[in-house]
Amino acid sequence: MQKLLFITTGGTIACAPTDKGLSPSMSGMELLRHLPELENMCEAHTLPLFSIDSTDMTPRHWLAIAAAIEKYYDDYDGFIVCHGTDTMSYTAAALSYLIQNSAKPIVLTGAQKPISFEITDAKRNLRDSVICATDASSHDVMLVFDGRIIAGTRAKKEKTYSFDAFVSVNYPALGNVTDDGIMWFIRPPEPCGEPIFYDELSTSVFWLKLTPGIEPDILPLIFDKYDCIAVESFGVGGVPQSIADKLEALFASYKKGEKLLVMATQVPYEGSNMAVYEVGRRFKDKLCFLEAHDMTPEAVYTKLMWTLAQTALTFEQKRDLFYAPVNFDTLKRGKSK
């Protein structure tokens, strides 16, 4: 029987009602008692790391989860991280960069309703996560929810209440958990060699969402505080002229690579291409930047934090790290100017 470590972090799955609303309070052992069939599925152990709403999750917590998995990696056959749903896609992406080439599965799951409720998705999600974590084809970081198995860099929460809350963006789900086991659509590749753990993330990344009429005056403040600015543009890559002009003027005052600019799109599906329209091409012809293409915002944001944490890199080295595929995160390798 396989030995699994359940890492608990709080979230709705472990919540109980209070006079101020739902609040995570259930211990890991209390959580697993609601799934008595677990004793026939695996040898379960628990590790309580925190008990927070995932709204309060930070990069410091991501590093703590990764460190715990590294510490106990040789002791277990797989890991299940019980997590709140609101920022679980960020954590799944972050862990994909912090723990690479893992032959052992690292599964994130949670619930839209607490496990103690009569009507809940928590029991199914936990059970499905165990089935996934004990499958011989499971490797690396995955998110399991409502029967779907999603690569850690492709998951996104798109519903606030429904049980089918998560989708796989711009890449197929890896598989479905069924009554008979797992129906794999894409099997994670067998890792070669030892897992690679990282223990640093840079918090000097700012995510700027463009809105119609946005004023460029905010940009100098952002450039002063952050080393990387990710711009969520319109459509396939449209940038208002006033923003483009200000960005061009700001970058002129820095050496190449001193500040990193990344262009993404606020449209969830099909990705960006700055060369399609004049409003993107005029920007592309003047500035040196990276393009997110089909990556999710969560993957872009956390991959940049991981990239910037690798110290003393040239612009070209940062570019190559950002574009190198990790856990299905990108289908298109971009080229910068």
Amino acid identity of residue 104, one-letter, is: K
Amino acid identity of residue 147, one-letter, is: G
Give the confidence band of 284 by pLDDT, cuts at 50, 70, 90.
Answer: confident
Give the confidence band of 18 by pLDDT, cuts at 50, 70, 90.
Answer: confident
Give the mean pLDDT of the chain: 93
Is residue 235 classed exposed, middle or buried when 0-12, 13-18 and 19+ CB atoms within 10 A define those classes?
middle
Q: What is the pLDDT of residue 333?
A: 54
**Token digits of residue 140:** 């690396």
Contact of 257 with 278, CB cutoff 8 Å = no
pLDDT tens figures, 255-264: 888 899 999 9
Q: What is the pLDDT of residue 179?
A: 84
Is residue 14 classed exposed, middle or buried when 0-12, 13-18 and 19+ CB atoms within 10 A define those classes?
buried
User: CA distances (Å), 268 to each of 60, 211, 224, 281, 327, in order?
Assistant: 27, 16, 29, 21, 19
User: CA distances (Å), 262 to each of 70, 230, 291, in order?
Assistant: 31, 5, 6
- Poorest-confidence range of 152-161, 275-284, 292-301? 275-284
Q: Summarize the confidence of residues 21-37 as an average pLDDT.
A: 90
Q: What is the pLDDT of residue 279?
A: 81
As a whole number of angstroms, the distance between CA 283 and CA 267 comes to 19
Active-site pick, 8, 9, 12, 153: 12
Q: Summarize the confidence of residues 63-89 as an average pLDDT.
A: 98
Give the confidence band of 332 by pLDDT, cuts at 50, 70, 90.
Answer: low
- Poorest-confidence range of 97-111, 194-208, 234-248? 234-248
Give the confidence band of 116 by pLDDT, cuts at 50, 70, 90.
Answer: very high
- pTM, whole model, 2 decimals? 0.95
pLDDT tens figures, 126-180: 999 999 999 999 999 999 999 999 999 999 999 999 999 999 999 999 999 998 7
Q: Is 134 a catalytic residue?
A: no
Contact of 80 with 109, CB cutoff 8 Å = yes
Sorted by where each starts, the structural domains of the chain and their CATH numbers stand as 3-197 (3.40.50.1170), 205-323 (3.40.50.40)
User: CA distances (Å), 266 to each of 72, 231, 298, 305, in order?
Assistant: 38, 9, 12, 19
